Structure 1
Amino acid sequence: MTTTSWNHSSRLLAVAAVVALLAAAVAPATAVSVAETDAPDSAAVGEEVSLTITLTELYREPSLEQWELSGATELTNPTWTVVLYDQTGAKVGQESFGGQTFAGVSVVADDGVSEVEVQLTGSVPEVAEYTYDPHQTFEAATLEQVPPGGGANELTSVATEHFTEESQSAREALDAASSEIEAAGNPSEATETFGLAVSAYESENFDNAQKLADEAKGQAQQAQNTANRNRLILMGAGALLVLGIAAGGVFYWRSQQDSTDRLG
């Protein structure tokens, strides 16, 4: 029995090892570290924004001591600047591109390249589809490593929320209503109105979304006030009950004392 159990366990371990090796072979090896990403979390439609991505540890995979960098963005009228540095921090190369994609920047260990800085400037695009949760975002930048044999490994992807003045005002009203509804214990009427507000927001009817959000907030506050008032009434009734019981006890005690005095 012991031998059979051991052989079965050994087979399981061997199978697990093979699966792990196959997974490692299939998974793309990203031989680069993204040291820093300086990008806005959110921005208004039409606003000009800039971001910077710094890549280090460019050759962690020994077989990839030479590769190409490519990038893409949904920013409009973008300008890319790719700067190559050596180990001393000295600039050893620079390339600039226009357009929403670029490709063909050579990163070669023998050239002394040890760090890559990608700078991007462009305008925030229109919102294709509004969503309240999660926030609507666009692809600010995606960078890929292209090995000599072809294929591509994604190094990083940066998503940024975008909005208009009207959508932002509606979202702020929705956020305020959501907080009030949660604080009030999610009353059904307010929750239902809030759902209508979200639907209006995602349909780009921002004025109606804001009005409904304000209505839901008021309903939540009213429900909270009613709950607080009922709580106070119950507390008052409880206090009166306690006082009544105490008064009855005192009355009973005194009546017993009077009876004892008369008997005496």
Structure 2
Amino acid sequence: MYSLIQLLTKIGLTEKEAKAYLISLKVGTNPASVIASRSELNRCTMYSLLESLIKKGLMYEIEKDTIKYFTPISPRQLLMWVEEKQRDLSYHKNEILSHISELDSLRHPNQVLPEIRSHSGKPGINKLYNDAISEPFLLISAEPIEKPHQFFGQYASMFLNEKKTIHLTIRKKNEVINLTLKTHKDLESIPNCRPLEIIGKYKLFILDDEDHYGIEIKQDRIISGHQEQFHYLWNIKKDPRP
């Protein structure tokens, strides 16, 4: 079911909307309370999601004996909905093309745009890690995982070989662990985790290596903002080691 949720988010639904659609598809025509009972969502939240799906044209509402029932469109109708969105996007694309000169004329001459590169697949993620360890320092936000991660097993070692410093924050559900890594011995003491965001001096890296995808951003203002946020959260909870 998770792969179907991912599929629906790719065509414009939020994750919760996707869950609501799939659950209602499974249980059939029912009140919001029944659909909610088959999910982890309460009735009010489910009702809001169903109303949102109605506005998007993915759900019908039927009233019987003062009770509102909800019915999702069929998978084939969903395909037609996607095709309609494609036609709308194609129309809007042509509209933008016809006004591109007018839009360009509104741009400020000193406007600075961020340089953004995407990386996909294992080779792309490895390229991103190689770019990251060329930075003079690294601020890393990570989440816990069960097994050792490639970055800390290979790339962090290469980074520390050059006497650089890593500030690592691992955020669990009810706990935050902040660690300063300067030597290989420091690496041995960290819990298993994977980086979600790597902030350097010149570049910012946002990662989803479960799906082998990452984004590299080069823009001073964006990087500075992420650095400030990291340091603010870091100072709330210090390195737990003596």
TM-score normalised per structure 1: 0.19
**Structure index of larger Rg:** 1
